[in-house]
Amino acid sequence: MEKKQILSVMAAALMLIPASAGAKAKKKKAEKQLSTIEIIDKVNTHWQTANKPEVNAFWDNAAYFTGNMEAYKLTGNAKYLEYSDKWARHNKWSGATEQDPSKWQYKTYGEDQQHVLFGDWQICFQTYLDMYAMNPDPYKIARAKEVMGREASMSQNDFWWWIDALYMVMPVMTKMYNATGDVMYLDKLYANFKYADDLMFDKDEHLYFRDAKYIYPAHKTDEGKKDFWARGNGWALAGLAKVIADMPESYRHRAFFVERFRQLADAVSKCQQEDGYWTRSMLDAKQAEGPETSGTAFFAYGLLWGMNHGLLDRAVYGPVADKAWTYLSTVALQDDGSVGYVQPIGEKAVKGQKLTAANVTNFGTGAFLLAACEKVRYDDGSVMPATPVQFTVNVTNTLGSFRQEVVELDAKTVFAKLGISGGRQFQVYNAVGQQVPYQITYDGKVLIDAAVRPNGTAVFTFKKGTPKTFVNTCYGRMYPERVDDIAWENDRAAYRCYGPALQRTGEKSFGNDVWVKNTPELVVEQRYYIEDTSKAKIAQLKKTDPDAAKALEMATTYHYDQGNGLDCYKVGPTLGCGTPALIDGDNIVFPYCYKDYEILDNGPLRFTVKLVYNPSKYKTDANVVENRILSLDKNSNFNKMTVWYDGLTVPADLATGVVLHSEDVDNVVMGADYIQYADPTDNPAGQNFQIYVATLFPNGVSQTKKVMNANPVNGNAGHALGIVGNYKSGQKYTYYFGSAWSKYDCRSQAEWQERVNSALAGIKTPLTVEIK
């Protein structure tokens, strides 16, 4: 449902702006031609730069996010995922928020919080479910299960009484089935769709009326014709494409959805205008003259998707889609990356309403992204390749010990060999024929996870095709709910560093924190969520029942082991585990908290973040800025850290290492190119285990040494450090830091020493990668 009211001032203003589609197209012909995948980034970067993600979860915003997630699915761009994550958390993974099911409504349009069962408040669940598929924390789809589960169990089937609902909610149902395995969601999808179809589908024209009040002959255009709204039919075609994509081939009613999709696609293609767009009243161009982008984009998406998946004939529909894309990319797309000529929020073709390049909307941008992603796949023939396109990759281990590591290939080489323009348009298989995850990185690499026996070779096959969605084994984000922590993890351990909100409190915590875990599954988001959502109840109980408050705190805080590990590593005003710093003699110039961050990679196989710190003073230099890029790969106990400093005018000494705690200053080993330590935890008697930490210096250091505090405070006895002398401004220095837990993957310090030795050997003698 779209809002009926349009401000008269806005409408009047739009009428005063002359349309100039033809001139725009001529101008663009002279400009540099961008590839479609470059256009996707141009459009989405423009939108995300100009618009904050902290907006409500109503349909218009949520429709954009469906396009954003499609762009992420194709490209793997971590900034797109983070943008969706911020939106989902802002809305607490919910649509309308009314908690009392007896007050839930759907039979009339409503933007209030009681319209929980109204489809415009349910489209948000599409994005939440897509994100859950990669990081399956139960709280992310708890509200979706509550709302959609109730709807699926109700006897009524008149929920979708307006055409928009076919896009807003139908894909939610198939995604709910895929998340839960419960066929009731598919059956409710069919029942609801059958009601909508019986109500709105015109069996002569094979198009949909917008809702009951627009059905012919009760409603006609000014010329007396049937009035089929383009965006409404765009919602329907795109929604059917999404549903068929997620619906199992074996579902008993699948054929009905496919039939309607094909009928609608055929009818749509017949009323395209010569310039590639569709008019707002599809069979009566005079009702609202001129191009309109949102309907055109949804049609382009649906037609391209149908051809890509073998449901539509390329010979018939290819020319239609090509003309539509020409309009979208040369007229609708503006030089700054905005997408214009989008009909504002409404429900019909409005007589006299003029559209221009200035008519830009969230949902129109989302529709454009959907079409562009499908256009990439169409041009590259990547969904159902006409002929198999593949090659093999050999990963060889020249060492005498088993290794499992993430290896890198050049992405451009992979794309060229597969004949694709870029993005996640290929599959990777191991030697036994299993599809395995891969990742495209911000710096142009393709990552695969290779397990290779001693002196052996593992063979992988790369094939053109659409990859499966895999659960992440590496992931991180910024946690504004916990004073801007950046926390990240892989299948071995978790870490965090501290942000500007903590610095503003005055608390002095400088170094990297270590969180131990005993499972390969990701746990950090769930730990933060449980603790954060328990705080209010604990605070209330402290006023009335302190014992109950303490019991609840012990049962929810991540400072106690709730079954998968905990945070019991002391940092405070130290380097913690592996934090870099400049050092003047024995005086460490401690960094404070990061100033700016940028997540560059975010799963499934690698997390990478860039951190920039506030200017600090070093000797006579008053504006020294520290920069870090750190990454963590699947299977690794060690993070890779690259650090550099700008603003130095004289050589400096660079230090990194681990804090030594007063409870145990003996179990530290100082190697020539490493430091490793058995940390006693923040409560040795209570915890009764150890956290093994280390820093590795494969590129060498001038010396390793201990710098001890004359008067230890809060258990901070000093540091074990590697020192890089004669460091000059701007030089990048790379080292590694990491950890293991005596209750999980490393039972003794001797075993930790072996892990350190193995990691250094692997860094110095990497697995070799050969593309055949």
Give the model's pLDDT for residue 410. 98
Q: Where are the alpha helices (DSSP H) in 518-610?
A: 524-544, 546-556
* Class for the domain spanning 390-464: mainly beta
* Average confidence (pLDDT) over 403-415: 98
* Average confidence (pLDDT) over 23-30: 47
* Average confidence (pLDDT) over 70-93: 98
Write out 153-181 in H/E/C secondary structure.
HCCCCCCCCECCHHHHCHHHHHHHHHHHC
Give the model's pLDDT for residue 28. 47
Q: Who's near 523: CB < 8 A, 6+ residues apart?
A: 489, 494, 517, 564, 565
Among 121, 191, 117, 185, residue whose Cα is nearest residue 155: 191
- CATH topology identical between 8-380 and 475-523+564-759: no
pLDDT more than 90, % of the chain: 95
pLDDT in tens, 83-136: 999 999 999 999 999 999 999 999 999 999 999 999 999 999 999 999 999 999
pLDDT in tens, 410-466: 999 999 999 999 999 999 999 999 999 999 999 999 999 999 999 999 999 999 999
The total number of residues written for the chain in this structure: 772
pTM score, two decimals? 0.95
Band (19; pLDDT cuts 50, 70, 90): very low
- The token pair that represents 280 in the structure block: 């707002």
Give the model's pLDDT for residue 11. 37
DSSP 191-239: HHHHHHHHHHEETTTTEE-SBGGG-TTTS--TTS----BHHHHHHHHHH
- Cα atoms in the 13 Å half-sphere on the side-chain side of 595: 9
- The token pair that represents 669 in the structure block: 């080993």
Cα 210 from Cα 348, distance rounded (Å): 8
Single-letter code of the amino acid located at 38 = E
- Contact by Cβ (8 Å): 702, 723: yes
DSSP 575-589: -BEEEEEEEETTEEE
Band (32; pLDDT cuts 50, 70, 90): confident
Q: Which range among 5-19, 169-183, 326-340, 505-519 shows the weakest confidence by mean pLDDT?
A: 5-19
Gap between the terminal Cα atoms of the chain: 53
Cα 342 from Cα 630, distance rounded (Å): 42
Cα 234 from Cα 314, distance rounded (Å): 20
- The token pair that represents 56 in the structure block: 């409500």
Cα 137 from Cα 125, distance rounded (Å): 14
- The token pair that represents 627 in the structure block: 């920069």
- Contact by Cβ (8 Å): 296, 278: yes
pLDDT in tens, 247-257: 999 999 999 99
pLDDT more than 70, % of the chain: 96
- Give buried/exposed letters for 621-642 (b at 16+ CB in 10 A, else e): beebbbbbbbbbbbbbbbbbbe
Q: Where are the alpha helices (DSSP H) in 54-183?
A: 59-75, 78-90, 124-134, 142-153, 165-168, 170-180
Cα 67 from Cα 367, distance rounded (Å): 6
Band (201; pLDDT cuts 50, 70, 90): very high
Given 85, 120, 137, 164, the catalytic residue: 164
Q: Where are the alpha helices (DSSP H) in 293-410?
A: 293-308, 314-327, 362-380
Name the helix (H) or strand (E) containing 407. Answer: strand 403-410
* Average confidence (pLDDT) over 663-668: 96
Dihedral angle over CA of 746, 749, 751, 753, nearest 10: 120
Band (31; pLDDT cuts 50, 70, 90): low
Supply the DSSP symbol for 635. T
Q: Which residue has the tokens 């998406």?
A: 301
Strand partners, 550: none
Give the model's pLDDT for residue 5. 35
Residue 733 has pLDDT above 90, yes or no: yes
Q: Cα angle at 115 between 113 and 121, to 5 degrees?
A: 85
Give the model's pLDDT for residue 1. 57
Write out 613-631 in H/E/C secondary structure.
ECCEEECCEEEEEEEEEEE
Segments making up each domain of the chain, as ranges: 8-380, 390-464, 475-523+564-759
Name the helix (H) or strand (E) containing 515. Answer: strand 513-517
Strand partners, 692: 678, 740
Mean pLDDT taken over the chain? 95
Q: Cα angle at 247 between 242 and 249, to 5 degrees?
A: 130
> Is 164 tagged catalytic?
yes
Cα 700 from Cα 431, distance rounded (Å): 37
Name the helix (H) or strand (E) containing 396. Answer: strand 390-396
Q: How far is CA 724 from CA 367, 585, 657, 702, in A?
A: 52, 12, 11, 5
Give the model's pLDDT for residue 713. 86
* Class for the domain spanning 8-380: mainly alpha
Q: Domain 475-523+564-759 classified CATH 3.40.50? A: no
Q: Where are the alpha helices (DSSP H) in 400-450?
A: 411-418
- Contact by Cβ (8 Å): 159, 192: yes
Give the model's pLDDT for residue 723. 98
Give the model's pLDDT for residue 366. 98
* Average confidence (pLDDT) over 179-194: 98
